[in-house]
Amino acid sequence: MLEAAQAISEEEGALLSRIYLTHTLSEIDEEHKASFIERKLVVLDDGMARLSKEAMAAVSAHPLLGTGCEHEIYPECFHQMLIASESEKEMEECAASCFPNLDKAETRRLLEPILSAFSSLGIPEDMETTGLFLSLPFESRLAYILCPLESDKRKAAAKAVALSERIAGLDAAREEEIENLIRRTTDYDDYSFFMLENMQLLYRKNGKLYGRKCQDGEHSLIVSSDFSIIVQGRTSAPLHLFAEPRKGGVVSEWMITRDSVRKSLLSGYGSEKIMMALESEASEAIPESVKSRIRFWEETLSSVKASEAIVLTVSERAERLIRALGPQLEPYVISHPADGIYIMSTETWKWRPIFSTVGLDVLGNIKERTEDGKKADVEISPIIYDISLPEERAVSFDREKRQRLLATDDAYRAALVLSGMICSESQETPELCDVVLGLDYQGKKRLISSAMNHGGKIYAEFIGGSVIIAKPEKSEKEGYVFLNGREIEIAKIWKTALLSISIASITRLKRSSDNDSL
Amino acid sequence: MSDKPLTIQSDRTMLLDVHSPSAESCREDIIAFSDLVKSPEHVHTYSVSSLSLWNAISSGLTAEEIIGRLKKWSRFDIDERVSFFIEDQCRRYGDFVLEEYDDEDLILTVRRKIFALQLMGEKSLSSILRPNDESSFLVSRMQRGTLKALMIKLGFPVDDRIPLKNGTPLPIKLKDNFTPRYYQIDAAKALVGNGGAGTGFGTIVLPCGSGKTIVGMLVASALSTNTLILTPNITALRQWKRELLDKTELKEGDIGEYSGEKKEIKPVTICTYQVLSWRQGDDEDYKHFNLFRQRGWGLIIYDEVHMLPAPVFRITAELQAIHRLGLTATLVREDGREDEVFSLVGPKRYDTPWLELERKGFIAKAYCHELRIPLPEEEEVPYALASGREKFRIAAENPNKTAVVRKLLEKHKDDRILIIGQYIDQLKALHKELGFPLITGTMANRKRDELYQSFRDGEINTLIVSKVANNAIDLPDASVLVEISGTFGSRQEEAQRLGRILRPKSRDSHFYTLVTEYSREEEFAQNRQKFLSEQGYSYTIERIEDA
């Protein structure tokens, strides 16, 4: 080993360090390349160039190798480059855990696009980005790997993964049918069971299909009184929203700082949400001092708040009409400071239709938004945002528990309970499925016809509260649809949702479970 | 959690899960080659650096043994980069060997030729190293410390094979009127080592109130040699003397005081940093440095080594042949020169989490409170409009604080209470209102000592103290400390102040920081709390509504 150390020149040392960090020989001239391989300093392994132990010793014998950083010993002298390679390594690890069946070269191939996507988005491949990435829930991380370049598709992919993770005991013979359904419900065309099995997210057992359970290995999250958060394994707490990543690795370290909390509050993620996110995951009690500090920060920072609103200046006649609209309009009037002036919420799509019922139109240079536009506000972090999905749960077949969950006034929620998407009281009603509400007539029509085309079921809730879950069938009458054999006016349906695969299959299960055959 | 308590990161930090049943044994195994970085309540962080490895090697460990221990305790496979780093750094030790040459010089032998060339090209070393042959250099004895410190900065550890001098012998026997605690014995052992090369010097980090003086006495007694003790000030000097007379067989005549007042040189001499770094003018010599060359000292103890002034730093580089012991509670120097302390006085040999000593009852259980007090309404606008400095002053002197102090005094009427503040005017006003004695920096030493004494004796139960001479080291012990204002960011100061209430007693201790709400004091307070929160102290935050 010592001979080798003495045998390399400074230039060779620099080149070797480069190879160590890049795993490739592509930047090295032919002469050196041949010489390195001949002297066994570099080993080619699956297309990757690696340094032999002798070579590493040789490089380390040059502690003062130029690199711009003076007098820092190896490997610190390559700090910048190391960070980059470090982050790559973390991503590789993540990818490897998603695709355990693939070999290294294959994993790297999968990873190329995401790395280049990150840099094309102007996101540096550094520890921080890596930290953010790793803090995302499993499905989101996977989605970034599956569709690094197509942000629209990413959400669909995450949904598809989340759905298939929940599959429990479906007949493997109907594989194709189910695949198609998932493709349609999630809009993720590239979906396939083959891929999922490759990722070990899906298993076959006795002719049945099972999704991955919540068994991602042990994980823990610890908040200490010095405001550090130490995370081992994965977490669904969106740490990147309110803490600064300090370190990646087997465990990641985060720091809650005044600044990080400030950013979080600015983006609408308040102290209560932070606390809930931490508390739901923490393995040890969160120090009181940390909790109260975060609350105090919020208090200090929120003494002046800004929010958007629309100011309406109205004529006397219009005011009389608006008054007449009364309670209907009330939820959208933030304040009525003087005659002729109204301060309205920005949800124009909600109050403009009400105005139009009395024949009032609104003129003015305001940026109108759609309901979708409003959803965009939820995207909190400009860099990487979490593709929000309901918590993953196994479907609960405990009859008593399900009955308890079904005791809800919200029929939509009840449908989701039946579908297995809601398994506990603490789970909020998610918006995983495509849901269309009241006024959006076109939306409802689109949704119903999409269900008709694909043979899926819809959830239809009426203003009076009654609910029908059925496969819609075409009616000859314009504006009507057949549900369970009844001809129904689409405009009367208040809330419509396209039901996902699991709902469709679980309603069947429900029937059989009522006979206790499960 | 699995039963293995250690998580090793690829950046060579190690996280120890303190709730694991084997945490204690793991800690004992890894402390020999790593440094404790922080120790909050659940997970302690250690780090492996070149320096910590070299120190481990110099005291006899091998790379195989170190990696073996990591494998034993690690929850996951060890990253290749970590094991490579350890092997590599350990291999490097021994590349540079420093040995005796003649009366004037030492010889530095370099194992690999390539390193010899690099040393020759190194500007900072050219005035120190004189080439002897292709692979060795001569170095003047006086430059021993400087050379080692410079080379460590370059990434070259020097294996210093020259044993330390024994100094003029002096039997120092401990009395049997006290039993040293296990950690004091461990710390002293860690420092003294086996007496071979690479042992006999270093720094011991122990919390305030845990009996660092005893560690000093244990070391002195183990070496039994003429000893020079450097202390930050006259109060500490006297305290050392009291302790030595109380716990060792040394007689009054054996112990000298070398201070502004007296210049005695005895087998055991205690002096202050201040008198050592005194000189007539900027161009003059430090004439008291002669003290170091007297009597053949075999041991120098640097009490509160984090306060070591720069000139004493420099002379310490020349004293590499003498046993050295640095004692401190907080090796954070606000000037960031911790690593120089380590390289000149010696590496950290012992460190222990504060809360562990608290759990075992060796230091008092302390509760930290941050009390938030609003400004009176009429001050809010002046505060908002004030310049930076004024802002801090308005916040610090928030008149509402007085009422809070009053309440605390009432709540703790059976405690001994110290009230510490930054601004004399505020303290004077408090003194006038509450009637308790006020100690300021301008007060004569004698008067101050008298007051401290009657506080110790229980004749006075409350003292108001200004930021005396920029440190709290000479303050007497208490069970309640009220900080009515503090400086920005002195983690050091905060830790020393907490130290005043850590000496074990029958009641729990309380540390109150008074902070004006919505002011810059909030930020200041948080910065000050950083060190203690890393030690696992948790501040409760309370809001005082009706001040």
Q: How far apart are CA A421 and CA A395, in angstroms?
A: 7
β-pairing verdict for B509-516 and B366-373: parallel
Which residues on A lie below 8 Å from B84 (Cβ)?
A: 56
Tell me the average pLDDT across A329-339: 87
CATH value of B359-543 in 3.40.50.300, 2.40.160.20, 2.40.170.20, 1.10.1740.10: 3.40.50.300
* Reduced 3-state DSSP string for A331-397: HHEEEEEECCEEEECCCHHHHHHHHHHCCCCCCCCCCCCCHHHHHHCCCCCCCCCCCCCCCCCCCCC
Which residues on A lie below 8 Å from B371 (Cβ)?
A: none
Name the burial class of residue A199, with classes exposed (0-12), middle (13-18) and buried (19+) by CB atoms within 10 angstroms of its CB.
buried
Which residues on B lie below 8 Å from A225 (Cβ)?
A: 40-41, 533, 536-539
Phi, psi of A263 (to 5 degrees): -60, -40
A302 touches chain B (CB under 8 A): no
Which chain B residue lies closest to A59 (C-alpha atoms)? B88
pLDDT at residue B40, as a whole number: 85
pLDDT at residue A96, as a whole number: 67
Please answer whether residues A245 and A127 qualify as being in contact, where contact means their C-beta atoms are separated by less than 8 angstroms. yes
The domains spanning B182-352 and B359-543 adopt the same CATH topology:
yes
- pTM score of the predicted model: 0.63
Q: How far apart are CA A341 and CA A349, in angstroms?
A: 20
Q: How far apart are CA B299 and CA B201, in angstroms?
A: 9
pLDDT at residue B229, as a whole number: 93
Sheet holding B462-466, edge to edge: B438-439, B462-466, B417-421, B480-483, B509-516, B366-373, B539-543
pLDDT at residue A386, as a whole number: 47
pLDDT at residue B69, as a whole number: 94
| Paired strand residues for B17 | B43
pLDDT at residue B408, as a whole number: 92
Straight-line distance from the first to the last Cα atom of chain A, in angstroms, rounded to the nearest whole number: 66
Phi, psi of A100 (to 5 degrees): -65, -20
Q: Which residue among A222, A226, A288 places its CB closest to the CB of B38?
A: A226
Q: How far is B399 from chain A (nearest CA, A)?
A: 21
pLDDT at residue A4, as a whole number: 41
Q: Which residue among B7, B40, B115 places its CB closest to the CB of A225?
A: B40
Q: How far apart are CA A272 and CA A276, in angstroms?
A: 6
pLDDT at residue B128, as a whole number: 87
Which residues on A lie below 8 Å from B88 (Cβ)?
A: 56-57, 60, 74
Q: Please determine, for residue A70, whether its predicted confidence score (pLDDT) is greater than 60.
A: no
pLDDT band at A80 (very low <50, low <70, confident <90, very high): very low
DSSP per-residue letters across B230-241? EESSHHHHHHHH
β-pairing verdict for A251-255 and A244-247: antiparallel
Name the burial class of residue B378, with classes exposed (0-12), middle (13-18) and buried (19+) by CB atoms within 10 angstroms of its CB.
exposed
Instruction: Kindly list the distances between the CA atom of residue B24 and the CA atoms of A318, A374, B353, B365, in Å, as whole numbers in the listed order.
Output: 78, 54, 11, 21
Q: How far apart are CA A436 and CA A500, in angstroms?
A: 14
Query: Which two structure tokens, joined as six digits, stand for B347?
Result: 């590496």
β-pairing verdict for B348-351 and B201-205: parallel
Q: Which of A226, A228, A261, A290 to mutate to test the interface with B (most CBs of B within 10 A)?
A: A226
Q: How far apart are CA B95 and CA B115, in angstroms?
A: 8
pLDDT at residue A169, as a whole number: 66
Considering only CA atoms, give the Rg of chain A.
29
The structure tokens 């109130």 sit at: B209
Please answer whether residues A309 and A343 qualify as being in contact, where contact means their C-beta atoms are separated by less than 8 angstroms. yes
pLDDT at residue B135, as a whole number: 84
pLDDT at residue B188, as a whole number: 93
Q: What is the pLDDT of residues A130-164, one digit of tens each?
A: 556 656 666 777 777 777 667 777 777 877 777 77
Instruction: Kindly list the distances between the CA atom of residue A276 and the CA atoms of A273, A281, A498, B506, in Å, as whole numbers in the listed order.
Output: 5, 9, 30, 39
Least confidently predicted of A52-61, A240-249, A366-375, B209-218: A366-375
pLDDT at residue B228, as a whole number: 92
Sheet holding A208-211, edge to edge: A168-171, A208-211, A202-205
pLDDT at residue A89, as a whole number: 63
Query: Which two structure tokens, joined as six digits, stand for A237?
Result: 């707490």
Please answer whether residues A415 and A499 qualify as being in contact, where contact means their C-beta atoms are separated by less than 8 angstroms. yes
pLDDT at residue A332, as a whole number: 87
Q: What is the pLDDT of residues A27-51, one digit of tens each?
A: 788 888 888 888 888 888 777 888 7
DSSP per-residue letters across A58-84? HHHT-TT--SSSTTPPTTGGGHHHHHH
pLDDT at residue A384, as a whole number: 45
Strands annotated E in B308-422? 323-328, 348-351, 366-373, 417-421
Interchain CB contacts (distance < 8 Å): A and B:
105
User: Which residues 173-212 of A are in CB contact (within 8 Å) with B?
Assistant: none
> Residue A189, CB half-sphere, CA atoms under 13 Å: how many?
3
Instruction: Kindly list the distances between the CA atom of residue A208 and the CA atoms of A168, A216, A419, in Å, as whole numbers in the listed order.
Output: 8, 22, 18
Q: Please determine, for residue A434, whether its predicted confidence score (pLDDT) is greater than 50.
A: yes
CATH value of B99-160 in 3.40.50, 3.30.70, 2.60.40, 3.30.460: 3.30.70
Q: Who's near B140: CB < 8 A, 6+ residues apart?
A: B104, B105, B106, B128
Which residues on A lie below 8 Å from B536 (Cβ)?
A: 224-225
Q: What is the pLDDT of residues A85-129, one digit of tens each?
A: 555 666 666 666 666 666 767 777 767 766 666 665 544 555 556
Any idea how long chain B is? 547
Please answer whether residues B472 and B411 qualify as being in contact, where contact means their C-beta atoms are separated by less than 8 angstroms. no
Q: How far apart are CA A258 and CA B523, in angstroms?
A: 9
CATH value of B182-352 in 3.90.1150.10, 1.10.10.10, 3.40.50.300, 3.40.50.11290: 3.40.50.300
Which residues on A lie below 8 Å from B19 (Cβ)?
A: 284
Indicate the SS3 state at residue A13.
Answer: helix
pLDDT at residue B333, as a whole number: 61
Q: Which residue among B115, B534, B541 places its CB closest to the CB of A226?
A: B534
Straight-line distance from the first to the last Cα atom of chain B, in angstroms, rounded to the nearest whole number: 47
Q: How far is B121 from chain A (nearest CA, A)?
A: 11
Position B423, amino acid: Y
What are the extents of the domains in chain B? 6-92, 99-160, 182-352, 359-543
Among B383, B547, B400, residue whose Cα is nearest residue B485: B400
547 residues of chain B, pLDDT tens digit each: 457 899 988 778 899 998 888 988 998 889 888 888 888 888 899 988 887 888 788 778 899 999 999 999 998 888 777 888 888 888 878 888 888 888 888 999 988 777 787 788 777 888 888 888 888 999 988 888 888 878 877 777 788 888 788 888 888 888 888 889 999 999 999 888 877 777 888 889 888 778 889 999 999 999 999 999 998 878 788 889 988 999 999 898 899 998 888 888 889 999 988 888 777 777 777 777 777 777 788 899 999 888 787 778 777 777 788 899 999 887 666 666 666 777 778 888 888 888 888 888 888 888 889 898 999 988 888 888 888 788 888 888 899 999 999 999 999 988 889 998 888 888 898 999 888 998 887 888 788 888 888 888 888 889 898 876 445 456 777 889 998 887 665 677 777 788 888 877 777 889 999 999 888 888 888 877 877 788 778 788 888 876 5
Q: Which of A250, A257, A293, A299 to mutate to test the interface with B (most CBs of B within 10 A)?
A: A250
Query: Which two structure tokens, joined as six digits, stand for B279?
Result: 């000189």
Q: How far apart are CA B10 and CA B83, in angstroms?
A: 9
Q: Which residue among B9, B91, B372 places its CB closest to the CB of A249?
A: B9
Q: Which residue among B11, B114, B539 places its CB closest to the CB of A249?
A: B11
